[in-house]
């Protein structure tokens, strides 16, 4: 008969037993059926429990001289009457106690902290109410039985039997309500994530299951052997019926505890696996007010922290470059630098002042963003770093912070790609200068704020060459050192030009320009 309770749980609307997404603010079917659904489960559990106790009492020493047909009749009438009265009264009391929970569920609003605590106590409150109902029944039926049976100790036996039945019913009720109220728990914990366990721990749930499956049945057998009426060893019916009830109750309790613990753990395992694969938008539903709920909330907090870290890393990488960001995250940020031999590429928009006056600030920003997208794509394709944007100009570095096997060739190829893409777009006119030499690369600034940059003659030379490139038809000029450091295949794209003394320099610099420019 106890399997009826399990069937009742399965017969509930799926929305009642299925957890919803946290943070939901609209009224869904589960909000309206959760209270009556739980009430039906509790009623079914109590009716089944009462039936089991009745059948057990009828089968214990049914033929002994202490039994009285009149006593049985009176006790049965009193028990049935109490059951018919106690069930509706208990339902009304339970609904009244949790009327505030029903109110925010029905209206779909966010519960207050006090309402959250009340909702999380729902399984325990219902189980305690059931326990009180059975305790009153044990005392009442025990007193009535002692009065109507020839031997008063029969009342003690019946009272003890009702107490054991009440313990089992209250325990099963707690597990059933805790399972059925996961929707309420999820809604409550979405409004106020758990900060400490507010329900039975996993260890106590397992101890409760042991009590329902082994403790109470064994205690019942012991008490029957020590029957206070002096009737001796239990009969065959009792020896078969009581273990059978224990098996069914044990199956139900084990299933409820297994689902209550196993289902969240499976969700957590899948969530952690997805987080390990790089998905940081993973969230699990917090539907347990105990240790598992703390673990669920911890996983969500961890995922949020990882998402925030990835967002900061992405922003950091956008500002300083992916290679610089990766190096700073792994090695830390220290002021100072190291001498590196690099290729510096400087690109500048020609006539930017006139463009800004003609286009206006908004259109000018859009134009520069499209231009810089070309620079970033060309530089990244060759393994370089766009070190900084300076108004309408950009400095790109090849060979720092990560070394490149052909840094000079990569810079020259990037310069050709930029000139080709800009010419095809036809929106701006640019000058590109490429130089090769030693620089100091590292963090420059103060302890509170610094940036990764390169300082040296190669950078200055690239900037000077950019001014010359604006007057050249190919729009790209490279230093002799840069072209000589490149591979022979890349040198074929460049033609030697004149020697000039760059501004701020005393020695002449041989120029190389794009072939066909």
Q: How do the domains of the chain map onto residue ranges?
A: 3-291, 334-514
106/120 Cα distance (integer angstroms): 17
pLDDT recorded at residue 253: 76
Q: Write down the pLDDT at residue 315.
A: 62
| Helix/strand/coil for 204 | helix
Q: Which pLDDT does position 438 carry in this prediction? A: 92
Could you give the residue ranges of the DSSP H alpha helices within 321-429?
322-331, 352-359, 361-381, 407-425
Q: State how far Cα 167 lies from the chain centre.
A: 37
Query: How many Cβ atoms sit within 10 Å of the Cβ of residue 236?
Result: 8
Q: How many CB atoms sit inside 10 A of residue 177's CB?
A: 23
- What is residue 16's predicted lDDT score, i.e. its pLDDT? 38
3-class DSSP string for 172-197 = HHHHHHHHHCHHHHHHHHHHCCCCCC
Q: Which two tokens stand for residue 305?
A: 């922290």
Q: Quote the pLDDT of residue 312.
A: 65
Q: How far apart are CA 154 and CA 287, in angstroms?
A: 46
**Residues 116 and 103 sit within 8 Å (Cβ to Cβ):** no
In angstroms, the CA 388 to CA 2 distance is 74
Q: What is the pLDDT of residue 361?
A: 85
Nearest one of 264, 270, 87 to 185, comparing CA atoms: 264
Pairing label, strands 476-479, 429-445: parallel
pTM over 0.75: no
* pLDDT tens series, the chain, 517 aa: 334 443 444 444 444 333 333 333 343 445 566 677 778 878 877 787 777 777 766 655 444 444 567 777 787 788 888 888 888 888 888 887 888 887 887 777 888 888 888 888 888 888 888 889 888 888 888 888 888 877 777 778 788 888 888 888 888 888 888 888 887 888 888 888 777 777 777 778 777 777 777 777 777 666 666 665 555 455 566 666 667 777 777 787 778 778 878 888 888 888 888 888 888 888 888 878 778 888 888 888 888 888 887 776 666 555 555 565 565 555 554 555 788 899 999 999 988 888 888 888 889 899 999 999 999 999 999 989 888 888 889 999 998 888 889 999 999 999 999 999 999 988 889 999 999 999 988 877 776 666 778 899 899 999 999 999 988 887 899 999 999 999 989 999 999 988 888 887 778 888 999 886 6
Integer Cα distance of 407 and 165 in angstroms: 84
Rounded to whole angstroms, the Cα distance separating 364 from 362 reads: 5
Estimate to the nearest angstrom the gap between the alpha carbon of 40 and the chain centroid.
Answer: 33
Q: What is the DSSP string of 89-139?
A: HHHHHHHHHTHHHHHHHHHTPPPPHHHHHHHHTHHHHHHHHHHHHHHHHHH
| CB-based burial label for 197 (10 Å; 0-12, 13-18, 19+) | middle
3-state helix, strand, coil in the chain (%, to 5): 65, 15, 25
- As a whole number of angstroms, the distance between CA 22 and CA 25 comes to 9
Instruction: Say what the pLDDT of residue 431 is.
Output: 92
CA separation for the pair 53, 47 (Å, rounded): 10
DSSP 57-91: HHHTTTTSTT--HHHHHHHHHHHHHHHHHHHHHHH
* CATH number corresponding to 334-514: 3.30.70.1230
């Amino acid at each position: 008969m106890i399997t009826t309770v399990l069937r009742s749980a399965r017969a509930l609307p799926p929305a009642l037993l299925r957890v919803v997404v946290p943070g939901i603010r609209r009224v869904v079917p589960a909000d309206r059926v959760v209270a009556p659904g739980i009430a039906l489960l509790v009623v079914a559990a109590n009716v089944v429990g009462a039936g089991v106790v009745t059948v057990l009492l009828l089968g214990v020493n049914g033929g002994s001289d202490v039994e009285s047909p009149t006593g049985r009749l009176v006790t049965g009438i009193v028990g049935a009457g109490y059951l018919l009265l106690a069930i509706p009264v208990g339902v009304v009391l339970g609904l009244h106690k949790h009327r505030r929970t029903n109110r925010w569920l029905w209206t779909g609003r966010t519960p207050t902290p006090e309402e959250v605590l009340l909702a999380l106590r729902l399984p325990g409150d219902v189980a305690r109410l059931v326990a009180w109902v059975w305790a009153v029944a044990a005392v009442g039926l025990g007193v009535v039985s002692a009065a109507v049976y020839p031997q008063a100790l029969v009342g003690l036996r019946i009272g003890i039997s009702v107490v054991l039945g009440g313990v089992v019913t209250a325990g099963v009720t707690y597990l059933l309500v805790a399972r059925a109220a996961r929707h309420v728990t999820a809604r409550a914990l979405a409004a106020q994530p758990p900060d400490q366990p507010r329900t039975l721990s996993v260890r106590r749930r397992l101890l409760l299951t042991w009590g329902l499956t082994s403790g109470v049945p064994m205690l019942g057998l012991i008490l029957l052997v020590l029957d206070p009426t002096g009737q001796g060893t239990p009969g065959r019916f009792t020896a078969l019926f009581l273990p059978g009830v224990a098996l069914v109750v044990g199956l139900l309790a084990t299933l409820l505890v297994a689902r209550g613990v196993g289902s969240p753990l499976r969700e957590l395992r899948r969530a952690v696996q997805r987080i390990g694969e790089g998905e940081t938008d993973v969230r699990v539903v917090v539907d347990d007010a105990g240790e598992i709920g703390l673990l669920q909330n911890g996983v969500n907090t961890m995922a949020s922290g990882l998402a925030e870290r990835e967002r900061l890393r992405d922003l950091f990488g956008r500002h300083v470059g992916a290679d610089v960001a990766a190096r700073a995250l792994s090695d830390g940020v220290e002021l100072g630098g190291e001498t590196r031999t690099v290729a510096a590429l400087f690109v500048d928009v020609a006539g930017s002042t006139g463009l800004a006056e003609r286009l206006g600030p908004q259109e000018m920003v859009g134009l520069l963003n499209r231009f810089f997208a070309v620079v970033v794509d060309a530089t990244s394709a060759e393994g370089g770093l766009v070190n900084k944007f300076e108004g309408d100009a950009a400095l790109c570095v090849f060979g720092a912070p990560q070394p490149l096997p052909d840094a000079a060739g990569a810079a020259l190829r990037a310069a050709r790609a930029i000139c080709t893409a800009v010419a095809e777009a036809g929106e701006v006119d640019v000058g590109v200068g490429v130089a090769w030499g030693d620089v100091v690369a590292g963090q420059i600034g103060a302890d509170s704020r610094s940036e990764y940059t390169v300082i040296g003659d190669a950078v200055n030379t690239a900037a000077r060459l950019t001014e010359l490139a604006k007057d050249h038809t190919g729009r790209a000029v490279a230093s002799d050192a840069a072209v000589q450091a490149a591979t022979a295949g890349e040198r074929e794209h460049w033609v030697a030009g004149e020697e000039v003394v760059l501004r701020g320099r005393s020695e002449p610099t041989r120029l190389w320009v794009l072939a066909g420019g």
